[in-house]
Chains A and B, each alone.
Chain A
Amino acid sequence: NAGVTQTPKFRVLKTGQSMTLLCAQDMNHEYMYWYRQDPGMGLRLIHYSVGEGTTAKGEVPDGYNVSRLKKQNFLLGLESAAPSQTSVYFCASSYQQRNQPQHFGDGTRLSIL
């Protein structure tokens, strides 16, 4: 069972470069999320989506854009990478019911030099 798949797993960028992180889920979940995890700060929500074609800002959206053209995919873009965006990025998905847990990908470790 694939669950939530993130690509790539590791990436090193130079300041100013752009890239897209890919997230795919095969559980037919309505909701999808992008988080970043930094030491001592837990997981902070970047953007989320409640369905195909819809996206919304989380608590730390600046510098990131997202798209959800298909229900199973959620893309996170960095248009002009900055060293402050060095982090571990997690994608998650869930059903919309309140008692449903989030299912996470394995994370993408991104370094911006």
Chain B
Amino acid sequence: AQKITQTQPGMFVQEKEAVTLDCTYDTSDPSYGLFWYKQPSSGEMIFLIYQGSYDQQNATEGRYSLNFQKARKSANLVISASQLGDSAMYFCAMREGMGGGYQKVTFGTGTKLQVIP
């Protein structure tokens, strides 16, 4: 079974509108972390936002927010007021314990977002 599933290979959004990128995860570890990264066409990986499994509130960072639904094991990224510079690949990742102190990080296959002027 996939640990991290991103079901939207590609999405379009109109500039200035909001968009939601889906991410579902699977883990038996009660203590885990969820991350979103952005990869522009230039190739670098940029950390956007973090949500811990015990966090009571959804994480927010500027125009980014994370819609965390623990019971459904989903951690969707919401980008408000889309900008042309938001066009990029977006990866969801999960950090979970593997025993012995090491936390394994698993990435989804990504969603390519294109913002239309």
Contact = CB atoms under 8 A, between A and B. Distances in A.
A74 interface: no
A42 B107 contact: yes
Interface string B23-52: 000000001110101000001110100101
Contact of A98 (B47, B93, B103): B103
Interface in A38-69: 40-45, 48, 50, 56
A41 B102 CA distance: 23
B44 A106 contact: yes
A76 to B, nearest CB: 17
Interface string B89-117: 00101010100011111011110000000
Contacts of B9: 40
A29 interface: no
Given A50-B102, A98-B32, A98-B95, A88 B107 contact: no
Contacts, number: 51
A99 interface: yes
A99 B9 CA distance: 27
A49 B24 CA distance: 27
A101 interface: yes
A101 B31 contact: no
Nearest to B110: A42
Interface of B: 9, 31-33, 35, 37, 43-45, 47, 50, 52, 91, 93, 95, 97, 101-105, 107-110
Given A42-B108, A50-B101, 12 more contacts: A40-B9, A41-B109, A42-B109, A42-B110, A43-B107, A56-B102, A98-B32, A98-B97, A98-B103, A102-B47, A102-B105, A106-B43
Interface of A: 33, 35, 40-45, 48, 50, 56, 88, 90, 92, 96, 98-99, 101-104, 106-107
